[in-house]
């Protein structure tokens, strides 16, 4: 089974990035990517702490 929409989607359509051909678009795109990385890092640390992979020293 083939998904024609996914097969023809460009990188920008797939990632839903804003238009980055102007200055504010490049800034906004960079800001979104940095915020996304920070949220992923916080979520990873939260899961690690919840599962006990990170513990306070006794």
Domain total of the chain = 1
> The pTM is what?
0.57
Per the CB < 8 A criterion, the answer to whether 33 and 26 are in contact is no
Please give the structure tokens belonging to residue 35: 């915020």
Domain that holds residue 44: 4-51
pLDDT in tens, 11-25: 556 566 666 677 887
Q: Is residue 25 part of a domain?
A: yes
Residue 31 lies in a domain: yes
* Domain membership flag for residue 10: yes
Taking only the tens place, the pLDDT of each residue in 24-54 is 878 888 888 899 999 999 999 999 989 988 7
pLDDT at 11: 58
């Amino acid at each position: 089974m083939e998904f024609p929409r996914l097969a023809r989607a460009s990188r920008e359509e797939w990632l839903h990035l804003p238009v980055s051909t102007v200055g504010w678009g490049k800034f906004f795109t960079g800001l979104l990517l940095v915020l996304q990385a920070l949220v992923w890092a916080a979520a990873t640390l939260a899961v690690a702490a919840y599962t006990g992979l990170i513990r306070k020293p006794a």
